[in-house]
Amino acid sequence: MEAFEVTGGRPLHGTTMIYGAKNAALPILAATVMAEDVCVIEGVPRLQDVRVMVEILRTLGATVDWQEDRLVIDPSHIHSTDVPSDLMRQMRSSIFLMGPLLARFGEVRVSRPGGCVIGQRPIDYHLRGMKELGAKVEEAHGYVRCSANRLYGGHISLDFPSVGATENLMMAAAYADGTTVLENVAREPEIVDLAVFLQKCGAKIEGAGEDRIVITGVHHLGGATHRIIPDRIVAGTIMIAAAATEGDVTLEGVVPSHLGATILKLRETGVQVTIDRDIIRVNSMSPRRAVDIRTAPFPGFPTDLQAPAMALLTTVNGTSVIRESVFEARFKHVNELARMGADIGVDLQTAVIRGVNRLTGADVEASDLRGGAALVVAGLMAEGKTRIEGLHHIDRGYQQLETMLRDLGADIVRID
């Protein structure tokens, strides 16, 4: 079994370039099945989830070729609308095939998606939305089949601004007859990126990035060339790791406005963060302070950075409180951080972190993607050696995290 071996205590120093966002690339790759011509998607990160999405597209009949960091996708020979359940199980983002396949081909068959186990993660908003657009939804034997001769514009208001449901419904509505109004939708930058890609293909979408999106359906989407936005969660993870190791790191190729809440919180802890166009520098030479964090949909503090932020807070002076308001079970990293000497109490969705003098290296296991990243941050801070198992979770969302960190001076190796 693969593991990371991290010897802590080395401040991160240097410059790193941030690659394309997993959470933007995955819905955009799924959306290419709606195009009638070749699409070129640039800046695609080489991650496990992307490999699974490529395999799904190929299984459906698309031609997909890697050219450096580019994916060239020809969807013109898609012959199946049935996403195999072994691929569905491998990641949450497989659900993004539902809207595009249904809209373009009139039917889709999927099973419940897999992904990080951080809560129940139902797909009821997705299904209710598809029904609102005129689809027949049948669930049996663990499969969901949606069908419709044509989808029709509708008025849908989400109970919670779900990122995935916003994206799935926006894609479906792009190909429906008439106008769709989506309300109480998510405003994440990845939603804007998906809308920009769809617009390049010919879709008519207004309001992406706000809480109300209006889509006027079209009957043809062409191909397009599109570059994926930089990964704000990877950037945030590196910023937190720099702060946690009292380092000095410059990130290039970022969009600082995507990281507003993260920058504010880091500054509140006493870390110096400077911004110059698409460059962020994190300098953390002085002692840090405890802070309280509440995760929330964008522009709030991202739930995907909750675990790495918790690792950082384990050794700051005072007591920090983290409230996880997006997912009901996203504290699995707490027990592993405790093995390393962290003092954290959890009550439902609230964690109270009492700062300790230092963490000590231990054998720990990642049980989800960002929880895994938190253990890496903790390992970089800890005295001695930390061995982190469960790398398949981390590899879902970080492109060779160990190489990126080693280039910044960390002592981290992947061992078998």
Ligand X SMILES: CC(=O)N[C@H]1[C@@H](OP(=O)(O)OP(=O)(O)OC[C@H]2O[C@@H](n3ccc(=O)[nH]c3=O)[C@H](O)[C@@H]2O)O[C@H](CO)[C@@H](O)[C@@H]1O
Ligand Y SMILES: C=C(OP(=O)(O)O)C(=O)O
Binding residue ranges for phosphoenolpyruvate: 22-23
Which of 205/408 has CB closer to ligand X? 205
Three-class secondary structure of residue 209 per DSSP: coil
Which of 104/370 has CB closer to ligand Y? 370
Does position 165 interact with ligand X (CB under 6 A)? The reply is yes
Please say whether the beta carbons of 51 and 66 come within 8 A: no
122 binds, among ligand X, ligand Y, none (CB under 5 to 8 A by kind): ligand X
Q: Token pair of 183, please? A: 């309300």
Does position 120 interact with ligand X (CB under 6 A)? The reply is yes
66 binds, among ligand X, ligand Y, none (CB under 5 to 8 A by kind): none
Which of 49/74 has CB closer to ligand X? 49
Does position 93 interact with ligand X (CB under 6 A)? The reply is yes
User: Between residue 172 and residue 231, which ones bind ligand X under the rule CB under 6 A?
Assistant: 186, 190
C-alpha 9/C-alpha 5 separation (Å) is: 13
Min CB(308)–ligand X separation in Å: 13
Does position 393 interact with ligand X (CB under 6 A)? The reply is no
Min CB(222)–ligand X separation in Å: 25
313 binds, among ligand Y, ligand X, none (CB under 5 to 8 A by kind): none
**Of 192, 193, 170, nearest to 99 (Cα)?**
170
Which of 120/357 has CB closer to ligand Y? 120
Burial of 122 (0-12, 13-18, 19+ CB in 10 A): exposed
Which of 138/363 has CB closer to ligand X? 138
Min CB(391)–ligand Y separation in Å: 15
119 binds, among ligand Y, ligand X, none (CB under 5 to 8 A by kind): ligand X
Q: Token pair of 274, please? A: 């400077």
What is the layout of strands, in order, in the sheet containing 63-67? 63-67, 70-74, 39-42, 225-227
- Set 39, 116, 146, 201: catalytic member: 116
Cα-trace Rg, the chain? 21
Distance between the two ends of the chain, CA-based, in angstroms?
Answer: 6
- Please give the annotated binding residues, written as ranges: 22-23, 92, 304, 326
Does position 359 interact with ligand X (CB under 6 A)? The reply is no
Three-state secondary structure string covering 281-307: EEECCCCCECCEEEECCCCCECHHHHH
**Measured at CB, which residue is nearest to ligand X?**
164
Among 132, 304, 365, 395, binds ligand X (CB under 6 A): 304
Please say whether the beta carbons of 301 and 329 come within 8 A: no
Among 10, 109, 121, 226, binds ligand X (CB under 6 A): 121
C-alpha 165/C-alpha 142 separation (Å) is: 20
Among 4, 19, 125, 175, binds ligand X (CB under 6 A): 125
Does position 29 interact with ligand X (CB under 6 A)? The reply is no
Min CB(382)–ligand X separation in Å: 26
365 binds, among ligand X, ligand Y, none (CB under 5 to 8 A by kind): none
DSSP states of 298-333 as a string?
A: TTSB-GGGHHHHHHHHTTSBSEEEEE--S-TT--TH
C-alpha 255/C-alpha 259 separation (Å) is: 7
> Which spans of this chain sit near ligand Y (rule: CB under 6 A)?
23, 91-93, 115-116, 304, 369-370, 397
Which of 74/304 has CB closer to ligand Y? 304
- 116 as an active site residue: the answer is yes
Does position 123 interact with ligand X (CB under 6 A)? The reply is yes
Please say whether the beta carbons of 115 and 163 come within 8 A: no
∠ CA 258-260-265, nearest 5°, is 135
Q: State phi, psi for 364 to the nearest 5 degrees.
A: -135, 165
Min CB(161)–ligand X separation in Å: 7
Q: At what angle do helices 22-31 and 48-60 cross, to 10 degrees?
A: 0
Does position 301 interact with ligand X (CB under 6 A)? The reply is no
Does position 126 interact with ligand X (CB under 6 A)? The reply is yes
Neighbouring CB atoms inside 10 A of 128's CB total: 15
What residues line the site for ligand X (CB under 6 A)? 23, 26, 92-93, 119-126, 160, 162-165, 186, 190, 303-304, 326-327
Catalytic positions, please? Answer: 116
